[in-house]
Amino acid sequence: MKIESLDLSDEIKRFYENSGILELYPPQAKAVEKGLLEGKNLLAAIPTASGKTLLAELAMLKSVLAGGKALYIVPLRALASEKFRRFQEFSGLGIRVGISTGDYDKRDEGLGINDIIVATSEKTDSLLRNETAWMQEISVVVADEVHLIDSPDRGPTLEVTLAKLRRMNPSCQILALSATVGNADELAAWLDAELVLSEWRPTDLMEGVFYNGTFYCRDKEKPVEQPTKDEAINLVLDTIKEGGQSLVFESSRKNCMGFAKKAVSAVKKTLSKEDREALAGIADEILENSETDISSVLANCVRAGTAFHHAGLTTPLRELVEDGFRNGKIKLISSTPTLAAGLNLPARRVVIRSYRRYSSEMGMQPIPVLEYKQMAGRAGRPRLDPYGEAVLLAKSYEELVFLFEKYIEAGAEDIWSKLGTENALRTHVLSTISNGFARTKEELMDFLEATFFAFQYSNFGLSAVVDECLNFLRQEGMLEKDPDILVSTVLGKLVSRLYIDPLSAALIAKGLREAGTLTELTLLHLICSTPDMRLMYMRSQDYQEVNDYVMAHAGEFSRIPDPFNIAEYEWFLGEVKTSLLLMDWIHEKPENEICLKFGIGEGDIHSTADIAEWIMHVAAQLAGLLGLKGAKEATELEKRIRYGAAPELMDLLDIRSVGRVRARKLYEAGFKTTAELAAASPEQIAALVGPKIAERIFKQIGRKGTAPESTTTEPLEKGSPEGQRTISDF
Ligand SMILES: Nc1ncnc2c1ncn2[C@@H]1O[C@H](COP(=O)(O)OP(=O)(O)OP(=O)(O)O)[C@@H](O)[C@H]1O
């Protein structure tokens, strides 16, 4: 089906033809036949890189150019940034694109001027809770990676958000993009959507198992040279020899770093002079961006053409590795599965070195087929590779047979709603009531009928869980006591707007009420013991490694007195670790020292600080509303967590491009406030922070006798240690 033949404006057709896209891929053509461009709801359950995003673009563009507004929902902020960058290419069509991330109690009304808005499902939910006006105008909703409805921590928010959006705008078109799942028909039926099921891919995917020097795939047996003792390195070298690159997926950060290091000597020998020069440049940029031991290990790997990629790296470092791989210089990325979650970084060969994952309940378990398919689907760059190869490693013939049966010949599992637990439901019951979607139990059950959970379990058992939630919310003062009506109290509305688990809010209020003197550690412990913070800790990529670390330091951690002495606050060691980590952070301990002490990456410091800042903000708001002690202390701590600095630097830290290190340097040199800075000479400040930063500072604060220029909207220097904040994943 030619782009030319589509029911689209000429300008849209020209846009795609100019980017070399003349013909639709088969699944895209099927979607058009099923009403994609006629406003029909549609679920596309098709493989990675088979054109899902483009399919959604066509519908969004058609609606937007007819006066509509599109909302593109993704699970991760990293993905939001990727899609935002992609959609900015539509500016030539006069289309404005916005990205909504950050604070969850903001309405982001200003974003309403955009035609396409990209947001995470959590942010979308918070915009609904804050009754953002432009949400009523949405004409097309795209739910990307919709199979994540299956995930316990992100799934419930996605399905409730979709239910709310459909309730609010019954006429808006829903486009759900999913990896191949076992029950796509059920998911489509829930969304009243047409279903496009396809296994088609632009690049042939050869899935197989490597055993005893041979790659077994379909009916082929491909011997692979064994220049080293490590089979995975041999596969990487074999790929380089064929002019391709490799992604190697590992089960933990330690293993992915270890593999990248181990492959250095073999991969280095394959590099051309031009590659080495380009790689040296990337390595230097990495070292300019970050001064930790991990980043110097990464720089050394990159110089040799290998790299590792995991959530502990800061965003700038991850982007340098991704760009270096996309432009063909980095030959191997060894990664944890984060990379497979939707990021568009294909490679000729994908090696799944470990198909097991650590689960706290059952130890090492085989990953789901869906997760394997996500990783395997990264094999084969469209238009660049003749094919893609996904390789599982077997140590025995029995394992080879197991892997073929479990992963290659099997279909993906069904996905299941995880909404039916009190932990998942509590926050959504409160927000549904706070936003007026339900004023009685019946109306609440009627609303919940629209969720995927009710569709799969026909509301069985939901009523009992809902009652538990309502009782909890009433006893915590978030709902009016009258059992016949559902009305949020002022506290309930605030908790809903702040986008925090009501249980977290209740624990914070109790802690503020009952704790003794409020020290920094008390307040940090308070927020670290909330379910929202624990979720972040549990979500940390290598829960096993984090847990091992904590247990190894149990002696040290258990000596920390529990500042609360309150029965409900079991002093979990993980919270101790996070509290102590944050204490070091706000006391300006160097990032590398914190990384080494707590066995984490810089990215972890920033994502922990991101969440902690938010929950400390909530603590300040709750203390203010409830008239409890701690509002002032929490407000100050919120800012200290944002910047990782002591109170005296707060004034300087309000200046863009001045982070904790530069602020401390200026302060120690006698420039303690912006006023003292404004009175200084450019030479004095340039001697401390360099001419470029000095210029930026004076642009913002002006110099004695001169007015500051309008606040610069220029982006912070890519990866500058000052103020560069990675963003937590949702
Ligand atoms: N019909 C087409 N003809 C040629 N190229 C296409 C077509 N559709 C998409 N592409 C290109 O293929 C690549 C992958 O497309 P797209 O991002 O839409 O796939 P996807 O399934 O969303 O990928 P991912 O699973 O990584 O999100 C993009 O570079 C896109 O420009």
Residue range 139-149, pLDDT digits in tens: 999 999 999 99
Task: Report CA(78)–ligand 1 centroid distance (Å).
Answer: 18
Residues 600-606: what's their mean pLDDT? 88
Q: What is the pLDDT of residue 357?
A: 82
Alpha carbon of 46 to ligand 1 centroid (Å): 11
pLDDT digit string, tens, across residues 431-444: 999 988 899 999 99
Which ligand 1 atom is the nearest neighbour of the CA of 48?
A: 25
- The segment(s) of the chain belonging to CATH 3.40.50.300 are 3-197, 204-408
Q: Which atom of ligand 1 is nearest to the CA of 47?
A: 21
By C-alpha distance, which of 373, 376, 250, 394 is closest to 309?
250
- Three-class SS of residue 652? helix
Structure tokens at 667: 């302060």
Q: Which amino acid is at 408?
A: I
pTM for the predicted model, two decimal places: 0.88
Cite the DSSP H helix spans in 131-263.
Answer: 155-168, 184-190, 231-241, 253-262
- Spatial CB neighbours of 289, under 8 Å, sequence gap ≥ 6: 295, 314, 316, 317, 320, 718, 719, 720, 721, 724
User: CB 279: neighbour CB atoms within 10 A?
Assistant: 24
Residue 139: C-alpha distances to residues 6, 39, 223, 288 (Å): 20, 9, 54, 44
pLDDT band, residue 718 (cuts 50/70/90): very low
| Least confidently predicted of 51-60, 256-265, 368-377, 560-569 | 560-569
Residue nearest atom 8 in ligand 1 by C-alpha distance? 51
Amino acid at residue number 266: A
Task: Quickly state the pLDDT bin for 273 (edges 50, 70, 90).
Answer: very high
Q: Whose CA is nearest to atom 12 of ligand 1?
A: 51
Token duo for residue 9: 């404006």
Rounded to the nearest angstrom, the distance between the alpha carbon of 54 and the centre of ligand 1 is: 6
Q: Checking DSSP bridges between strand 306-309 and strand 332-335, what pairing results, if any?
A: parallel
pLDDT on residue 717:
33
3-state secondary structure at position 729? coil
What angle (nearest 5°) sits at the alpha carbon of residue 679, between those of residues 676 and 685?
A: 80
Residue with tokens 């033949």: 5
Say if residues 586 and 520 touch (Cβ distance below 8 Å).
yes
C-beta neighbour count of 334 within 10 angstroms: 30
β-strand partners of 363: 359
Distance CA(261)–CA(254), nearest Å, equals: 11
Distance 50 CA to ligand 1 centre (A): 6
Q: Which CATH class is domain 502-643?
A: mainly alpha
Which residues, at least 6 apart from 434, have a Cβ–Cβ distance to it below 8 Å? 129, 488, 492, 493, 496, 497
- Residue to mutate (ligand 1; options 3, 24, 53; most atoms within 8 A of CB): 53
Task: Pinpoint the residues of the chain covered by CATH 1.10.3380.30.
Answer: 502-643
Strand order in the sheet with 349-352: 220-223, 214-217, 204-211, 387-393, 349-352, 246-249, 332-335, 306-309
**Nearest CA, atom 25, ligand 1:** 48
- For residue 646, the Cα-to-chain-centroid distance in whole angstroms is 29
Cβ atoms of 504 and 514 closer than 8 Å = no
334 CA → ligand 1 middle, Å: 24
Q: What is the pLDDT of residues 568-597, one digit of tens each?
A: 445 566 788 888 899 999 999 999 999 988
**From CA 428, how far away is CA 556, in angstroms rounded?**
39
pLDDT of 361 over the 80 cut: no
Tell me the torsion sign for CA atoms 62, 23, 350, 272.
Answer: negative
> Residue 231: which pLDDT band, with cuts at 50, 70 and 90?
very high
Atom 31, ligand 1: residue with shortest CA distance: 54
Residue nearest to atom 30 of ligand 1 (CA): 51
Predicted confidence band of residue 702 (pLDDT cuts 50, 70, 90) = confident
Does residue 321 have a pLDDT over 80? yes
Output Rg (C-alpha) for the chain, integer angstroms.
Answer: 26
- What CATH topology corresponds to 204-408? Rossmann fold (3.40.50)
**Going by CA atoms, what residue is nearest to atom 1 of ligand 1?**
24
Cβ contact 217:66 at 8 Å: no
Which atom belonging to ligand 1 lies closest to the Cα atom of 46? Answer: 21
Q: How confident is the model at residue 275 (pLDDT cuts 50, 70, 90)?
A: very high
The candidate with the shortest Cα–Cα distance to 306, out of 344, 250, 251, is 250
Pairing assessment for the beta strands 70-74 and 140-143 based on DSSP bridges = parallel
Burial zone of 447 (CB within 10 Å; 0-12 exposed, 13-18 middle, 19+ buried):
buried
How is domain 3-197 classified at the architecture level of CATH?
Answer: 3-Layer(aba) Sandwich (3.40)
Pocket probe mutation, ligand 1, options 18, 24, 54, 72, max atoms within 8 Å of Cβ: 54
The token pair at 328 is 């063909």
- For residue 18, the cross-strand partners are none
In angstroms, what is the span from residue 73 Cα to ligand 1's centroid?
A: 18
Cα 633-473-123 angle, rounded to 5 deg: 65
Residue 50 CA: nearest ligand 1 atom is 21
Q: Which atom of ligand 1 is nearest to the CA of 343?
A: 26
354 C-alpha to ligand 1 centroid (Å): 28
Atom of ligand 1 nearest to the CA of 19: 31
User: For residue 710, what pLDDT is reported?
Assistant: 54
Q: How far is the CA of 62 from the centre of ligand 1 (A)?
A: 18
- Token code pair at residue 316: 């700038």
Structure tokens, 155: 């799934």
In the numeric block, which tokens belong to residue 47? 């493989």
Ligand 1 center–CA 143 separation, angstroms: 16
Q: Would you say residue 711 has pLDDT above 60?
A: no
C-alpha of residue 235 to centroid of ligand 1, in Å: 27
- Distance (Å, rounded) from C-alpha 499 to C-alpha 431? 9
Describe the strand order of the beta sheet including 116-120 as a list of residue ranges: 97-100, 116-120, 70-74, 140-143, 173-178, 42-45, 194-197
Intra-chain end-to-end CA distance of the chain, in Å: 37
Among candidate residues 255, 715, 167, the one with its CA nearest the CA of residue 448: 167
Checking DSSP bridges between strand 204-211 and strand 214-217, what pairing results, if any? Answer: antiparallel
Looking up tokens 């912070």, which residue turns up?
A: 716
Q: How far is the CA of 56 from the centre of ligand 1 (A)?
A: 11
Atom 7 (ligand 1) nearest CA: 51
pLDDT single digits (tens) 189-230: 999 999 999 989 999 999 999 999 999 998 889 999 999 999
Distance from the alpha carbon of residue 55 to the mean position of ligand 1, in angstroms: 9
* Residue nearest to ligand 1 atom 15, measured at CA: 51
Pocket-forming residues, ligand 1, beta carbon under 6 Å: 21, 23-25, 28, 48-54, 342, 344, 382
Query: pLDDT at residue 9 above 70?
Result: yes
Beta pairing, strands 116-120 & 70-74: parallel
> How confident is the model at residue 727, as a pLDDT?
31
CA of 17 to the centre of ligand 1 (A): 14
**For 89-130, how does the pLDDT look when each residue is reduced to its tens digit (9 = 90+)?**
999 999 999 998 777 777 777 888 999 999 999 899 988 888
Atom of ligand 1 nearest to the CA of 57: 18
CB atoms within 10 A of CB 373: 23
723 neighbors 659 (Cβ within 8 angstroms): yes
How many other CB atoms are found less than 10 A from the CB of residue 312?
28
Atom number in ligand 1 closest to CA 179: 25
